[in-house]
Amino acid sequence: MIEHPPIFVWPPHPRGLRKALLGFPGYLWPWRALYALVGLLTWLFLLPPAAAMRTLAVGWVAPLFLLNLALLVAFAGGLHFRLYVQRAQGIDYKYHPRWLPTDNPNFLFRSQLLDNVFWNLVSAVPVWTGYEVLMLWAQANDLAPVVGWRAHPGYCLALMLLIPLFHEVHFYFTHRMIHWRPLYRAVHRVHHNNVNVGPWSGLAMHPLEHLVYFSGMLLFSLVPSSPLHVVFYSMYLGLSPAQGHTGFDRFVLTGRAALDAESYAHYLHHKYFEVNYTDPVIPLDKWFGTFHDGSAAAQEQMKKRVRRRNRAIGSAG
């Protein structure tokens, strides 16, 4: 069952909070720390000086695009290869007992894998890179507020820690928006064709949904930040969906050692559609009545909520 970490509770629980933030697995380790490391290395070794980014030029935009492309292929492709090609752990910890369909008319080319890879490479990476380049260019031209790590290390570190929480809030409300029936049918249905999800399903979206999903990066047009914050959030948005859509609860490493994929809440969203619109660190789904923890009680509550909604729609009609 899914539990919310003891962050937004009163009175505070210092020991539980410390464990949730610093424990393994926890808020920082291993996944958010991994995306922060990728962002840090990109910032240190790939980004040119701000003066060079004042002009939109192929010389610095193309390497960012190619890096994002390579990272996505390595991360999503690597997870897919191990879990779905090698089938290194069989169906151990797999949510759905079947493998990905290869002859389904709901998908482009009738293949879920080819459909997913197409949307990732043809739409997701260009939109992802476009937002990243836009914010770096805006910072370099003083069109977005910039703050330096040397002058304000405490603020910059705090912002790094808060970015994933901002993403949860942004994702919750934009995700609910595209579940509005007209938008769902026109846009979000492409993503929800993936009921039995795999790593490439994370960014398998309609291009309009990519514009909505990656729009969280516009945060930096208002909030003082550095290029490192932009690149970290960029990597978080681009890579974490593969982790959250593996279709497995755990990754077996060696022997009995396994790594939590932190994907069960979102798997339930793909299974039931109208629950768990965001990650469970901030209990937004619980506050707004859309939480499902996998229990029989939560299932019954979901059924009641759907019946009430359907009656309301029928009365209105």
Give residues with Cβ within 8 angstroms of 156, minimum separation 6: 147, 148, 149, 225, 226, 228, 229
Q: Are 178 and 184 in contact (CB under 8 A)?
A: yes
Q: Name the pLDDT band for 317 (thresholds 50, 70, 90).
A: low
pLDDT of residue 185: 97
Percent of the chain with pLDDT over 90: 84
* pLDDT tens profile 242-262: 999 999 999 999 877 899 999
Q: Read off the pLDDT band of 304 (50, 70, 90).
A: confident
The span from the CA of 80 to the CA of 215, in Å, is: 27
Mean of pLDDT over the chain: 95
Question: Which pLDDT tens digit goes with each residue over 172-226?
Answer: 999 999 999 999 999 999 999 999 999 999 999 999 999 999 999 999 999 999 9
Query: Whole-model pTM?
Result: 0.96
Instruction: Note whether 217 and 129 are within 8 A (CB).
Output: no
Give the Cα-Cα-Cα angle 256, 95, 33 (nearest 5 degrees): 60
Give the pLDDT of residue 301. Answer: 87
Contact residues for 188 (Cβ-Cβ < 8 A; gap 6+): 178, 179, 205, 206, 209
Q: Which of 280, 275, 241, 246 is nearest to 260 (CA)?
A: 246
| Residue spans per domain, the chain | 28-282
Q: What is the mean pLDDT of residues 120-139?
A: 98
